[in-house]
Structure formats: C-alpha cells, structure tokens
C-alpha cells in the first residue's frame, strides 16, 4: 500500500484549535476534515482514485462543504469567533 | 486549467465573521460555503459545468440550503444574533 | 428569465432574527430557507418546475424539514427561546 | 385538494418551546417536524400516499429520526435540559 | 399489526436526560434514536423486516451513527459533559 | 456469529469525554463513532465485508468524516476547546 505520509494523518495539525485569524481557522477546518478521511482510508492510491469522481460531482462537493461548515462551528467557537 | 480567481478562494472574505446586519451575515454564510467548494475544486470550467445540474435539481438545492443554514449558525452566534 | 421578485431574495426578511413568538420564529426559519434557494436559483420557472417533484417525494420533504430545524436552532437561540 | 386541517399546520403547537418534562419536549419535537412537512405539502392525499413509502424504508426512517434529534436539541436547550 | 411494546415507545426512557456516566448517556442517545423510529413505525414486523437491509449497508450504518452523535450532543450538554 | 470483542462495544472508551489534547479528543471522536456502529451491527464479518465498499466510495468517506465532525463538536465543548 502506498500510504499517506504521517503528517497527513495528524488529526489536529498544530495540536490546537486556536488560530490567529478566521481565515486560518477555516483552513484548519478543511485540513481536519481531510485528515479524518486519511485516517479512515490511508491508501493514497484509493484516495487519488476517488478524487476525479467526487470533485466533479456537485452533490459530493456540497457534502464536503457541509463537513467543513460543521468543523468550522467548532473551531470558531474555540476562538470565541475572533471577536476582538 | 481555467482557475477560479484568487478572490474567490478567500475562505473568510473580509477576514471577520462580524457583520453589521443579519442580511450581511447571511450573505457571508453563502459566500463562505461557495468558497469552500472553490477550494476543493478550483477549476472554473468544472464548476460551471456542474451548475446546470445541481441548480435545477431540487434535492441539490435543498442540500445547498442546509450548508448555508449551518454556516449561518456560526455567523449568527459570532454576532450575538445582532440582538442590539 | 422569469426572475423571482426582489422581495423573495431578501436573505433575512424583516432584517432581524428577533420575533415576538416561537410561531413567527418558525415561520421566519422557513422563509430564510426558501430564500436561500431563491438566491442560488432565481429562475421562477425552474423553481416551479421542481416543486411537483420534491413536494411529493417523502425523502425530499424530510430533507426540507431538516433545513427548517437547523434554521430554527439559530432563530430560537437568538430569541433566548422566548423563555419569558 | 383535501387540505390538512388547520391545527396540523400550526408550526409551534402550544405556542411555546417550554414543556414540563423531557417526554413532552420530545413529543413536541416530533410534532414540529411533522408540521414543517404539512406546511410545505398541505395536501393530505399526497401525504398519505407517501407514508407507505417512507415508513417502510429504513433510510427514510433514519432520516426522520435525525430531524427529530435536531428539533430536540432546540427544545431541550429551551428547557435548560429539564435539569431541576 | 404486531405492535412494538409500550416500553419501546417511550420517547425519553427514564424521563430524564441526566445520567451518572457518559457511557449511560451514550446508551440513552441510542435508545432515544431507536424509540423515535418506533413512534414513526410501530409495526414490529416492518421494523424487523428492515433490519437485515440497513444493518448490512455501510451507508445506513453511517447514517445511524450520525443520529446517535446528534442525540449525544444534547445528552452530553444536559450533563455538563460529566465534567466533575 | 463472529462477534466484535467486548472492548469494541464500549460506547465511551475511557469513560470520560475529557482528554489532555485536541489530538486525543479527535481520536476519541473517531472511536465513539466506530463503536456506535459496532453496537448496531456487532457481527465482525458483516463489518469487515462492508469495509471495502464504503472505504473506497468517496461519498461514504465524506459521510464518515461528517459524523466525526459532529462527535468532535461534543468532545471539544466538553474540554472547553483545550483553550489553556
């Protein structure tokens, strides 16, 4: 098996939910969602094989955007919504 | 690849979740959801190719409206629901 | 294109999440969900063409009811659940 | 059209999210979800026609149970989880 | 109709969301989700007939696990996450 | 039936939602989601039989990542987002 590199399996990259800006918090949300998937399916070839499929299917893209939105609820709350 | 312009890839346009009004908060929610998708699929031709599909399919439209509702939960909380 | 009237595109009708009663909060949730969809697909003919489809499909009706439930979480929180 | 009776269209029956017990809060959650659907599709014959379909399809039942769970999050929070 | 026994229709078994431990809170979440379904479809034969179907379909199992996760959010919040 | 071992059926492994780090909180979220599924379907052969299916289907992987995101909302809140 052509395994995803170790760094792509870290569940919370950076080890914290706290980020300086909303932009970085949003990026973290995307990364966490991606790394969830890497942990369930760590075979890089399978992952790459699926990409042409989901990334061109509107319903799959919508589903991914929903996961990001849910992750971001957590990250944003952790950062008190970067209010100050 | 005909790439989505840089401005369409910003994850939190404006760099803040705080908006003066609920209307603008809702608009930000829509934009954030759209920009999530741009980041996963930055090929403009693929995005445009998918639009006739999802935008005329009721179930896809419902799915998009759900993502917006989830994003808005975050934005509304960030703004203390614009209570004052 | 036979465009949805401007009033149907307002994202937060009334400009506030605060409502006098739960009933009105719930009605606002439904309206916000509907107006999300109008903003993604503002062609009235496409919208009307899809209605016989989703409104007679149980799974679509369930999906719509879920979006309403999510919107209502936000509206109810904004109103402190109309506790007093 | 054989229209759903008026009482089945009330969005928040009883006009409040506050209930004496969790059991009644849960029942309210189910009713609110059902009445959402009545408001989108008020034709009793269509509703009854769909019932044999969704009520015998596991995935539809799971989807309904998810909507109830989401509604209940709101009702339970409104009641401070009936902690006392 | 071979009706589900009365005890399987109680929406919040035990009449409270408060549990001594996370383990019991999680078990309550599963039971509440199951009893939702019993209330929508109280015919034991239909329920049993569907089981071989959903319980061997990965996507259905994932959907069930999502409902449990949502119910648990409520139960965990009710118990202040069993922090002490 | 080739039953899942007892340890794989514990709903909240460790008996607490509190974890020292976000990484461990995330791992707990994944485990709780998996153990939900074990409780609904404790037949190891059925579980293993389904794995090649869902783990190579992008939409299923996205669905799993959503469940993890929802579980993590609970675990992160329980830990006050590991803010200190």
CA distance E62 to chain F (A): 6
Separation of alpha carbons F77 and C72, rounded Å? 21
Using a CB-CB cut-off of 8 Å, the residues of chain C touching B76 are: 17, 74, 77-78
Mean pLDDT to the nearest integer, D17-44: 98
pLDDT tens for residues F13-56? 999 999 999 999 999 999 999 999 999 999 999 999 999 999 99
Sign of CA dihedral D56, D60, D62, D68: negative
Separation of alpha carbons E6 and F29, rounded Å? 33
Mean pLDDT to the nearest integer, E28-36: 98
**pLDDT surpassing 90 at residue D84:** no
Reported as a pLDDT band with limits 50, 70 and 90, residue A70 is: very high
The complex's ipTM works out to 0.98
Mean pLDDT to the nearest integer, E69-75: 98
pLDDT tens for residues B45-68? 999 999 999 999 999 999 999 999
Mean pLDDT to the nearest integer, C5-14: 98
Q: For position C84, what pLDDT does the model report?
A: 77
Instruction: Indicate the SS3 state at residue A10.
Output: coil
Q: Do E17 and D21 touch (CB under 8 A)?
A: no
**pLDDT surpassing 80 at residue D79:** yes
User: Best of B57, B66, B83 to disrupt the C interface by mutation (most C CBs within 10 Å)?
Assistant: B66
Q: What is the Cα A21 distance to its own chain's centre?
A: 17
F15 CB-near residues (< 8 Å, 6+ apart)? E21, E22, E23
B20 CB-near residues (< 8 Å, 6+ apart)? none
What residue of B is the nearest CA neighbor of C39? Answer: B30
Reported as a pLDDT band with limits 50, 70 and 90, residue E2 is: very high
Q: Do B41 and A63 touch (CB under 8 A)?
A: no
For the residues of B18-68, what is the DSSP string, one character each?
A: --SSHHHHHHHHHHHHHHHHHHH--BHHHHHHHHHHHTT-HHHHHHHHHHH
**pLDDT surpassing 90 at residue F57:** yes
F23, F84 Cβ separation under 8 angstroms: no
CA distance C2 to chain D (A): 23
Reported as a pLDDT band with limits 50, 70 and 90, residue B4 is: very high
Please state the three-class secondary structure of F34-62 as a single string. HHHHHHHCCEHHHHHHHHHHHCCCHHHHH
**pLDDT surpassing 90 at residue F84:** no
Comparing CB atoms, the residue among E59, E64, E73 nearest residue F54 is E59
pLDDT tens for residues E42-68? 999 999 999 999 999 999 999 999 999
Q: Would you tell me which residues 40-79 of chain D have a C-beta closer than 8 angstroms to some C-beta of chain C?
A: 40-41, 46, 49-51, 53-54, 59-60, 63-64, 66-67, 70-71, 73-74, 77-78
């Amino acid at each position: 098996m052509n395994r995803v590199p170790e760094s792509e399996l870290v569940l919370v990259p950076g080890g914290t939910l706290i980020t300086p800006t909303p932009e970085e918090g949003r990026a973290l949300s995307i990364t966490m969602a991606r790394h969830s998937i890497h942990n369930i399916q760590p075979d890089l070839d399978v992952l790459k094989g699926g990409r042409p499929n989901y990334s061109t299917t509107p319903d799959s893209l919508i589903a991914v955007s929903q996961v990001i939105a849910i992750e971001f609820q957590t990250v944003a709350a952790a950062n008190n919504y970067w209010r100050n």
